[in-house]
Amino acid sequence: MVKTMKHTQIFAFALLLITTIGCAATMKKNTRPNYKVGITKIDYQIKSGEKLNAIIWYPTLEPSGEVDYETSIPMRDAMAKQFKMPRFSISTKTTTQASTHSPIAEGKHPVVFFSHGFASFARQNNKMMEHFAKNGYIIVAISNPKASLLTEYTNGDYIQMDRTTPAMVKLDNLNKKRVKIMAKDMADNLNAIKNSDHSNYIAQLKQLGNDSLFSKYAPYVDNGARNLIQSIDAFSNQPQPVFQHMDLSNIALVGHSLGAMISIEASRQLAKQKTPVALVINYDAPGVLFEFQQGIDLTNYYASPVCVFQGNGTQLAKHNIGMTGVSDRSVQSNSFGGCLVNIEKAHHNNFTDLTHQSILKLFGMLGKINGKKFGHWLNASSVDILDFYLQPHSKELNITPYFKNKQATIEVFYAR
């Protein structure tokens, strides 16, 4: 049975995720050291024989290492090509809050595995990863060769994204007419999911998985989940000091867009291997089922607690392709519990570091919200959720209030 607490009433000042029925349980305050951020990058081989690279952020009390730069020259060039931006508009001299080679804080730390979105890269949520590290988490962002925009190895070698895959060929050959057709098909499929009931919800998720675009994402999800699972296994035998401080029995899988689909699939496979995942966080990905995902219904759609952040501010060719409402039925039916956070004006890109680039609102690439405030709130509320499931100090999940009234609803579901 799932205990549901709905907070759909909009308060004058904010939306609070606080249980209002009965007396609140006594909460033990979660105090932690004043962590700074360390960062390292490693190459490693997984069971399939593939060589991967991961960026790892971690808590440190002695930020004594070298300055970390957000964007390398090869990444700048790849981003300029992918997003059709002039190279001079992408700085390679911007530093982050992290320092390299700093000693990791003592003790074991819970681990967050972050999976980026389609045609994106490991650092797409750099500010979020730093915020997690400041709160005592080790974060691992994996680059998948030929699937990530750019996989950069520690020796300076790199592999660019494979643009010959069916998904990339389709996207690279879009024109205005094809975009309109694709946008309408996507909007129709998403609306069908939103309007479905329990009897046909799964059928609608399969329909989306057979969509002319989404069907081409299936290999990325399958391979990404495999790489993620084999990375977790490989990390148990790595010699570097940071791995000695990872509590791999206490992990969360976090992803944006395609990365969230990878995280959900990996959690299912890990559950079959008797390797529990404490939490999955989905940033603005739709519920979807591909042909290789068989035997899934509402009773086993998730294999762990899941929290979903969904925005409704994404437009494509004048069609709304926002995710608000798409994952509601699956989360509400999840026996492991979780939460739903629907933000009315958030764009798909607001769930990445792009939310801090206010000028992008002029080009329709961000929602009509204060992007910087949204980014800070998203990071804070995500830590609230991580703390509840990975470092529990309370019997209730309390999320930082949303900063704008009438633009968000929150639901919490507790497993029994």
pLDDT given for residue 221 in this prediction:
97
Dihedrals φ, ψ of 83, to 5°? -100, 10
* pLDDT tens-place string over residues 253-310: 999 999 999 999 999 999 999 998 999 999 999 999 999 999 999 999 999 999 999 9
Q: How far is the C-alpha of 150 from the C-alpha of 289, rounded, in Å?
A: 27
Q: Which amino acid is at 100?
A: T
Residue 65 pLDDT class (50, 70, 90 cuts) = confident
Do the beta carbons of residue 227 and residue 46 sit within 8 Å?
yes
Burial class (CB in 10 A: 0-12, 13-18, 19+), 117: buried
Q: How far is the C-alpha of 37 from the C-alpha of 49, rounded, in Å?
A: 31
More confident residue, 394 or 163: 163
Helices (H), 36-145: 73-82, 126-134
The stretch 362-378 carries a mean pLDDT of: 94
- 143-152, 169-178, 403-412: least confident range: 403-412
* pLDDT tens-place string over residues 82-137: 888 889 889 999 999 999 989 999 999 999 999 999 999 999 999 999 999 999 99
pLDDT given for residue 19 in this prediction:
27
The stretch 308-336 carries a mean pLDDT of: 96
Q: Has domain 2-415 been given CATH number 2.60.110.10?
A: no
Do the beta carbons of residue 404 and residue 378 sit within 8 Å?
no
Do the beta carbons of residue 386 and residue 252 sit within 8 Å?
yes
- List CB contacts of 1: < 8 A, sequence separation 6 or more: 416
The stretch 11-27 carries a mean pLDDT of: 29
358 torsion bin: left (phi>0), alpha (psi -120 to 50), beta (else): alpha
* pLDDT tens-place string over residues 217-242: 999 999 999 999 999 999 998 999 99
Do the beta carbons of residue 323 and residue 285 sit within 8 Å?
yes
Do the beta carbons of residue 146 and residue 162 sit within 8 Å?
yes
Do the beta carbons of residue 238 and residue 44 sit within 8 Å?
yes
Helices (H), 195-288: 201-209, 218-235, 241-244, 258-272
Residue 395 pLDDT class (50, 70, 90 cuts) = confident
Q: Which residue has the tokens 């479905």?
A: 196
* pLDDT tens-place string over residues 157-190: 999 999 999 999 999 999 999 999 999 999 999 9
Q: How far is the C-alpha of 17 from the C-alpha of 14, rounded, in Å?
A: 10
Answer whether residue 4 shows pLDDT above 70: no
How many residues comprise the chain? 416
Q: How far apart are the first and last CA of the chain?
A: 6
pLDDT given for residue 404 in this prediction:
75
- List CB contacts of 357: < 8 A, sequence separation 6 or more: 366, 371
Q: How far is the C-alpha of 141 from the C-alpha of 133, rounded, in Å?
A: 13
Q: How many CA atoms lie within 13 A of 349 on its CB side?
A: 21
Residue 416 pLDDT class (50, 70, 90 cuts) = low
Q: How far is the C-alpha of 63 from the C-alpha of 60, rounded, in Å?
A: 6
Q: Which amino acid is at 184?
A: K
Residue 5 pLDDT class (50, 70, 90 cuts) = very low
Answer whether residue 401 shows pLDDT above 90: no
